[in-house]
Amino acid sequence: MNLIKVKNYDGMSEKATKLIVNRIHAIENPVLGLATGSTPEGLYQRIIEKYKQEEVSFKNVTTFNLDEYVGLEQNDTNSYYYFMNDKLFRHVDIAMNCVHIPSGIAEDLEKECTAFERELGQAGGIDVQVLGIGGNGHIGFNEPGTSFSSRTHVVDLEKSTIQANARFFHSIEEVPIQAISMGIETIMSSKEILLLVSGEAKADAMEKLLLGEVSEDFPASILKKHEHVTIIADAAALSIAEGK
């Protein structure tokens, strides 16, 4: 894993933008794996700026998102479809038929997972997957204990994840308790992975990732087995790992 240390959130977003724009230019028909949450927002804002300055285009880009809540409609402001559209897609020239986000309201969720995997295969797999990390080490919504050989699946969210995400909802009762998530093996089959980590709340997870063992109890630890991972982490996120 290649670790790039930056000062703060802006530094992380800046570096990530450079890397993603570079890959969009370098790859003929790039397939990007995208993430939601607070971590990649600065990246998306900067990409939109680059698009406005005509420094990047999404005309040939296909995207696959990591996850979606079960039970939320696309136009629900808390759905990840809404998030992606609001924070990135509607501001750039991406063809919406090239956007893939699992549907959390599909009648048959298992079928939805299979269809998502099939479309991913048809697109030739992910060139670069953007990832955040949960305080509990989750990647996507793959909570501790998830099998490393999992493919896209329906997951039960951990209490700590529900609590962490409650900040976006009116009350904790409104937070969905299930999601569809790319599996760990799905994520690991990406050609390149870009993990973004910022803030003190992630310091503990960063210490476990950098200094701990590879274990299903800490899903992100599998990234050590991937050949092409770049971590961009800020000083606060590294404060515990580097203090040792």
Region 126-185 residues binding ligand PGA, contact defined as CB under 6 A: 132-134, 138
DSSP SS3 for 139: strand
Task: Kindly tell me which residue out of 39, 146, 152, 181 binds ligand PGA, with binding defined by CB under 6 A.
Answer: 39
User: What's the CA gap between 97 and 66, in Å, rounded?
Assistant: 17
Query: CB count, 10 Å around CB of 71?
Result: 13
Task: Kindly tell me which residue out of 3, 8, 14, 38 binds ligand PGA, with binding defined by CB under 6 A.
Answer: 38
Chain Cα centroid distance, residue 20:
13
138 is catalytic: yes
Stretch that binds ligand PGA, among 14-22, 36-44, 55-63, 218-226 (CB under 6 A): 36-44
Nearest to 123 by CA among 84, 154, 97, 161: 97
Which token pair is 199?
Answer: 């803030």
| Closer residue to ligand PGA in complex, CB, 24/237 | 237
Catalytic residue among 65, 85, 117, 136: 136
Sequence-distant (≥ 6) Cβ neighbours of residue 46 within 8 angstroms = 13, 14, 17
143 is catalytic: yes
Give the nearest residue (CB) to ligand PGA: 37
Asked if 239 is part of the footprint of ligand PGA (rule: CB under 6 A), the reply reads no
Catalytic residue among 68, 112, 127, 143: 143
User: What's the CA gap between 99 and 92, in Å, rounded?
Assistant: 12
Task: Kindly tell me which residue out of 37, 102, 104, 219 binds ligand PGA, with binding defined by CB under 6 A.
Answer: 37
What's the helix, strand, coil split of the chain in %, to 5?
45, 20, 40
| Closer residue to ligand PGA in complex, CB, 43/99 | 43
| Closer residue to ligand PGA in complex, CB, 106/166 | 166
Which positions are annotated as active-site residues?
67, 136, 138, 143
Chain positions contacting ligand PGA, by CB under 6 A: 37-39, 132-134, 138
